[in-house]
Amino acid sequence: MTDRYAVIGNPIGHTKSPLIHGLFAEVTQQDLVYTAIEGRIGQFAADVDAFRAAGGRGMNVTAPFKLEAFAYATERSPRAQMAGAVNALKFEDGRVIAENFDGVGLTRDVVHNLGCPLKGTRVLVLGAGGAARGALLPFLEQQPATLVIANRTLEKAEALAKEAAAHGPVSACGYADLEGRRFDIVFNATSASLRGELPPVPASVFEPGALAYELAYGKGLTPFLRLARQTGVDRLADGVGMLVEQAAEAFAWWRGVRPETGPVIERLTVPLT
């Protein structure tokens, strides 16, 4: 019997997840079907209940339901606990097991696909929202020399840094406090690029030879990546690798086999021009 999986979000028409998981199933010869569900606002639990009742084995969760998925779960991984949000669910014997693979996928893309180790580096994360929260624990597990969270609202960044402090060298600051500081890897985890805007980060934060990583994907050369290029940075990346790698983590969690990601990343990559 074919196993059922899905991604739930609202809106959901833009999602690449059915394509990605369909390709994974094909290359790993897994008997499954993966669909997209446009969840009803205020009816997340009912929609997931219906999917489970119809034989669903697992789900990916995207905006705006990641917090509701956290509340819906009966068991949560340490990564999900740290993020306070969930992007993958597994249904087993009445249990709802929750994970957050966003930060794991991002870390794997940077370290393995881009060949940029985080160990011993100076890391800057712009933004203190859900994307930053999901990335912190996987980042700190890589043992960077320092990790700085910069945010418009300093108190929000400080609270996040305090929560993660037990896991490694993390601190917080406002954007103005970045003047005169340089970093080896700079992640834009803000939503600015989705609006075609630039976060108020000084161009001086990029160390020569730095990696500038835009968590948004499929947007081409965003204002953040353009700023990095103008300062001489030639190592630019967007979040397509993160998207595919987090999907591969969920697929392996559900099916016990991890698919190759390179061909799928190549297929979905939009040139940074």
Residue-wise pLDDT for 17-52, tens only, equals 999 999 999 999 999 999 999 999 999 999 999 999
Dump the DSSP string for 70-107: HHH-SEE-HHHHHHT--SEEEEETTEEEEE--HHHHHH
What angle separates helix 240-255 from helix 17-28, to the nearest 10 degrees?
Answer: 50
How many other CB atoms are found less than 10 A from the CB of residue 46? Answer: 11
Q: Cα–Cα distance between 229 and 236 in angstroms, integer?
A: 8
Q: What is the mean pLDDT of residues 228-257?
A: 97
In the chain, the domains with their CATH numbers are 3-100+241-268 (3.40.50.10860), 103-238 (3.40.50.720)
Q: Cα–Cα distance between 42 and 108 in angstroms, integer?
A: 34
pTM here is: 0.94
pLDDT at 194: 84
Q: Cα–Cα distance between 266 and 102 in angstroms, integer?
A: 19
pLDDT at 130: 85
Residues labelled catalytic:
66
β-sheet bridge partners, residue 38: 9
Residue 49 neighbours by CB under 8 Å, 6+ apart: none
Query: For 196-219, what is each residue's pLDDT tens digit?
Result: 999 999 999 999 999 999 999 989
Quick one: pLDDT band at residue 193, thresholds 50, 70, 90?
confident
C-alpha distances out from residue 115 to 109, 112, 174, 211, 243, Å: 8, 5, 29, 10, 17
